[in-house]
Structures are given as structure tokens and as C-alpha cells.
Amino acid sequence: MPAIPLDAVQGVIKSYDPLTGDGVLVNEADLADVDLADDALEGSVFRMLRQGQRVQFDLDVDGRATRLRLGSEVDMGTPTL
């Protein structure tokens, strides 16, 4: 199914079962749980996911996370002394 690209949609992995590929992430924008699509890791650098891992993602037509990519932390800047 085609994905709906959304710029900088980020989330954090809530749970992931490497045996079944089932997982849930929390969308940082609205704190909603989002299920992983069956193809979420296809074409990705990820082979498995860990709880608390930050990712960027697209949503498929069913509202599931697909095309996971490395997430990013907010740049807090360099501290001054």
C-alpha cells in the first residue's frame, strides 16, 4: 500500500517482537500509539528495533507506521562556559 509522506514525523518505539515483527510506537506529535505496518522495516537500515528507540516514519493508508528511518534528537546547542 502506498505511504503518505509526512515531513519529520517522529516517534519512539514502545514495543517490538522480533519473532513476529509486531510492534507499536508512540507518535511524538500527539502521543498516540501507532501500529507498525508489516513492511515497516523493508528497505530500512533496521533489522530489529528496541524499546525507546527514536525513529522517523510515514503512515500507510491504514494509519500504520511504515518506512522507518533513524530519528533525531533536538539539537540543544553547544554549552558555553
CB-CB contact of 70 with 22 (8 Å): no
Q: Domain 3-70 is of which CATH architecture?
A: Beta Barrel (2.40)
Q: Which of 8-17, 32-41, 70-79 has the highest mean pLDDT?
A: 32-41
For the record, the C-alpha cell of 44 comes out as: 530500512
- pLDDT tier at 55, thresholds 50, 70, 90: very high
Domain residue extents for the chain: 3-70
Kindly tell me if the per-residue pLDDT of 7 is higher than 70. no
Mean pLDDT of 60-76: 83
Which residue type occupies 12? V
With 0-12 / 13-18 / 19 or more C-beta atoms within 10 angstroms meaning exposed / middle / buried, residue 73 is: exposed
pTM strictly above 0.85: no
